[in-house]
Amino acid sequence: MRQITQLIIHCSASAWGNAAVIRDWHVNGNGWDDIGYHYVIPNGRTAARADYDPAWDGIDHRRVALSVEGAHARGQNHDSIGICLIGEGDGLFTPRQITTLTGLVDVMCTAFQVPPTRVFGHRDYDRGKSCPGFDVAAWVRGG
């Protein structure tokens, strides 16, 4: 197992999707070997014209083995786990997504002994991005 020292949270910057959709964007759109994130947390809308489906709201969906380096934050992939919320940030995530994210962050921090101060948003590393659309450090401090 590689050493994990940080978690990095992202958003899909789309109103809909799931891990299979993002994998398609990364593999067929970007030409990557696999999806770049370790986890995707959908919001209940898996396709552009799909109705809201609670079965797809807030589930956690691991796609890539944690031992495999992801492709989600330049220069930070070797020692991080990438978690993507479907949505566009600024309060657009569902309560279930946030509940799932909270649980997942807790579990990962415990499993890999990552302190809460090492949970970041993508924009903390790339100031040109808004991803994930909220202040992750403040969110972590707030519980």
26 is a contact residue toward Zn ion (CB under 5 A): no
Binding mask of the shown chain, residues 102 to 141, with x at each position contacting Zn ion by CB under 5 A: --------------------x--------x----------
* Binding residue for Zn ion, selected from 7, 10, 64, 70, defined by CB under 5 A: 10
What one-character-per-residue DSSP string does 33-100 give? SS-S-SEEE-BS--STTPPP-GGGBS--EE-S-TTS--SSSTTTGGGEEEEEESB-STT-S-HHHHHH
Phi-psi region of 90 (alpha: psi -120 to 50; beta: other; left: phi over 0): left
User: Between residues 119 and 131, which has the closer beta carbon with respect to Zn ion?
Assistant: 131
In 3D space, the residue among 22, 11, 41 whose CA is nearest the CA of residue 134 turns out to be 11
* # of chain residues touching Zn ion (CB under 5 A): 3
Is the Cβ of residue 10 or residue 26 nearer to Zn ion in the bound state?
A: 10
Site track 69-108 with Zn ion (rule: CB under 5 A), x = hit: ----------------------------------------
What CA–CA distance (Å, rounded) separates 30 from 127? 22
User: Which residues lie near Zn ion (CB under 5 A)?
Assistant: 10, 122, 131
